A and B are shown apart, each in its own frame.
Chain A
């Protein structure tokens, strides 16, 4: 109890019988507490920690396998054959393998859980009565999804880089265009490619946030996001549907290799960033339209 509560005579508005502002609890305009709490929930959860561990296995497996055998050329940007020349390519190889399912799945789990998970265990009603404004809730949830996407992508990349550098060493890097760049520049290129992918996954997370507002079953939302992800890859591989390819959420993801060209081939990654931003905007607004006056009765 504050002093104002113990001495009613000091309360403002008493003369009218209507205390207009009875508590000494000023609004804190700028606070990152909610976002930090959200991140603590995500990264503090055992399930998610285990997921990060599994995601880290891929680059380690790649590095070890390549070390003990001679790789042949694979699909996508061909990072595998370059690994022995510079360990940083392990990061890129791991990203190219994980971007079709593992990383989108990780983002889908977090995004699917974002609102539906709170609704499922009932904590959503207690957040809303604190009160948390519904727009703010969606804003913070989406910020957390985006940060998670970036962190998880950087994590895979980092583990790959460390494992690769440990087993194959660093030094000069031969770009996909065949030119040589210095180690510092190479690290920067890999970092840019990683952040690019992280933002791409966050756009899938926006779709997940929207779906998460429509159900009280987080698993259902997660599965829906994974289905959308896989469908997008399938549609992208059907030549007869080429007219829609550039609009698919996953279409520009593979372009992350363009950061490893010399000079950086900006046109596709720019399209990729714009497409991601478009998906984020559209689906955040859809989530807001859906959630802002939804009945919360779980």
Chain B
């Protein structure tokens, strides 16, 4: 039920075909066709252990796929890793730095190994990146003394040392407090405004929902669905909800209009809208003299959607 996506390979920041990774007997990632359009903020969702990080590791060339192939920014990986990875900023499976070096020294280290980096601008770029994640004041503290949230921010700063076309952020809000989570969401938004494509993975649906233009849902190594967020969400059908003291009459109107699965509760009538425009329901109710004290259209949350896709909750699958 992958949403229809068409286009040239170059239109996608990330395009995979049948990407598969098998560890011994276990299939961690199973024939995933990930398509991230350029300019999208793509929420890569799934519970812990669903294969998100393994997929991201394959995207970046850290591990070799058992089968399948992929392109980043239109370039074949891993052959063109040297050309494309300088344009990709990444945060993979949590922050990792030298504990006895300061935050700044750790970023200098990353800059030193980058053959594309200009040593004359190192200082400016590092300060800029640290400032963007709110760590400038703590730049000279040893990494060892950093809290988990600060470490996470530093890893994001590392991804921002150079202008990027694509950012791959694996669980960027791990260990952050609600304020930090909001800041990272805001940062993702501003990166997208700058024209970057962002692939952000998360096991927390609600965290990502607000900032994404596209989503893909992983479950036990498979990509269950992907596409523009409205399109994916539209898969779960919208229901009209009428609050009234005469629910029987309201239900009769809903049935007449062609709504299905009409249900009655105390002071409430609901029904699945189908293709019907919600405003027509309101007009019909009013014309029939049904006293409407509340009317709403409810779409399923991503969590409801996930449950309907997998038949289970958003929990770890063995």
Number of A-B contacts (CB under 8 A): 113
The yes or no answer to B263 lying at the interface (CB within 8 A) is no
Q: Which residue of B lies closest to A127 (CB)?
A: B113
Chain B residues with CB below 8 A from A5, complex form = 163, 194-195
A41 touching B109, Cβ below 8 Å = yes
B66 shortest CB reach to chain A, Å = 10
Task: Provide the residues of chain B in CB contact with A2, threshold 8 Å.
Answer: 163
Sample (30) of A-B pairs whose CB atoms are under 8 Å apart: A1-B194, A5-B195, A18-B74, A22-B73, A22-B87, A23-B116, A23-B162, A25-B163, A26-B116, A27-B115, A31-B115, A33-B113, A33-B119, A36-B112, A37-B108, A41-B98, A121-B99, A122-B95, A122-B96, A125-B62, A125-B93, A126-B110, A127-B113, A129-B60, A129-B61, A129-B85, A131-B86, A132-B113, A133-B82, A293-B64
| Contact B97 A121, beta carbon cutoff 8 Å | yes
Decide yes or no: A121 and B10 within 8 Å by CB, A1-B163, A127-B113, A133-B82 being known contacts.
no
B33 contacts A by Cβ under 8 Å: no
- A280 and B318 CA atoms in complex are apart in Å by 45
Who on chain B is nearest to A28 by CB?
B115
Q: With A and B bound together, what is the CA distance between A207 and B112 in angstroms? A: 26
Minimum Cβ distance to chain B for residue A237 (Å): 40
Beyond contacts A18-B74, A297-B54: 13 other A-B pairs, Cβ-Cβ < 8 A, are A5-B194, A23-B86, A28-B115, A31-B115, A34-B112, A37-B108, A45-B100, A122-B96, A126-B90, A126-B158, A128-B61, A128-B62, A133-B81
Indicate whether A37 sits within 8 Å of B109 (C-beta atoms), given known contacts A23-B163, A125-B96, A129-B85.
Answer: yes
Chain A 118-143, CB-CB to B under 8 Å as 1, else 0, gives 00011101111111110000000000
Contacts A2-B163, A33-B119 hold; do A121 and B96 have CB atoms under 8 A apart? yes
| Chain A contact residues: helix, strand, loop or mixed | loop
Chain B residues packing against A (C-beta within 8 Å):
8, 10-11, 54, 57, 60-64, 73-74, 81-82, 85-88, 90, 92-101, 108-110, 112-119, 158, 162-163, 165, 194-195
Which residue of chain B has the shortest Cβ distance to A140 in the bound complex?
B113
Q: A17-B11, A297-B57 in contact; A37/B112 too (CB < 8 A)?
A: yes
Taken together as a complex, chains A and B put the C-alpha atoms of A29 and B90 apart, in Å, by: 24
Which residues on B sit within 8 Å (CB–CB) of A27?
Answer: 115-116
In the complex, A2 Cα to B110 Cα: how many Å? 20
B62 touches A295 (CB 8 A): yes
User: What A residues does B90 contact at CB under 8 A?
Assistant: 126, 129
Q: Does A46 contact B (CB under 8 A)?
A: yes
Quick check: is A296 within 8 A (CB to CB) of the other chain?
A: yes
Q: Which of B54, B117, B165 contacts A22 (CB 8 A)?
A: B165
Partner of A34 from the list B94, B113, B165, B195 (CB cut-off 8 Å) is: B113
B242 to chain A, nearest CB (A): 48
